[in-house]
Amino acid sequence: MKNILKYTISFFIIVNIVSCAASKYNKNYSEETIRQFEKMAIIEPFVEIYELGTDERMLLEDVSNYAKSEFKSYLNPFITDTKSKYYNHAIWQKAQIDTLESLIDTAYVKDDVSEVTVPLNLFDGVKEDKIIVSYIKGFIKSDSRRRSERWKTIGIGIITVGMFIPVYYSSNITLYSVMIDRSSNQVVYKERINLLGADPRKSEKIHDIVNKGVTSHFALAKKENPSTKNN
């Protein structure tokens, strides 16, 4: 058991070192320069919130649409302050949407975002040079799934005499976001924010992840956002 713990700890240390080595900023852009950006295009996020059952998962369209609505609601004051514009997916064809999703995936796995290639003419329907694209994924576990995991926790705790007790989260939200500079055809920065245990049905959790993953990069976001009052 001691050896298992030793190797597990070593694994997490290595993962953390590798994660820290990868920069989320393009080496050709300073953080201060990015903070002053205005007149950006904010693309309607791709949102997938699932219910996880014992053996299956189901897309929750109502919850996904709610998260998408709260994303825009939170950003409205920021969009006004930065003279930016919000675009929905209606301006693109299915192939373009697939390319956008693939671009986010590629940017996330690359250590150096300056190496990510942005397809030419991908944003023909957008006037602005600076473009923010986001992807929100999340889940809510069913009652049967939560009951099953509670029993697993008890069973493993008994078998290991309390030395190992797994923690299962009943819900989660993750936001992936990238900024693209169309004038240079480069990804300016990438961001990944994961809120363990956050319920995507709660507006304050959506606002929190959008603030951490999008607006916190910009100086104008320091202004009080009316949509966060009383949360």
User: Each residue's pLDDT tens digit in the chain (231 positions)?
Assistant: 334 333 333 333 333 433 333 568 888 888 888 888 999 999 999 999 999 998 889 999 999 999 999 999 999 999 999 999 999 887 777 788 888 888 888 888 888 888 888 887 888 888 999 999 999 999 999 988 888 877 777 777 778 767 877 778 899 999 999 999 988 889 999 999 999 999 999 999 999 999 999 988 887 544 444 444 444
What secondary structure letter does DSSP report for 218? S
Q: How many helices (H) and strands (E) does the chain have?
A: 6, 7
pLDDT at 220: 53
Task: Report the C-alpha gap between 178 and 109 in whole angstroms.
Answer: 12
Prediction pTM value: 0.78
Task: Report the C-alpha gap between 83 and 53 in whole angstroms.
Answer: 43
Task: Report the C-alpha gap between 213 and 178 in whole angstroms.
Answer: 9
Cβ(21)–Cβ(111) below 8 Å: yes
Give Cα separations from 60 to 22, 66, 191 (angstroms).
Answer: 33, 10, 25
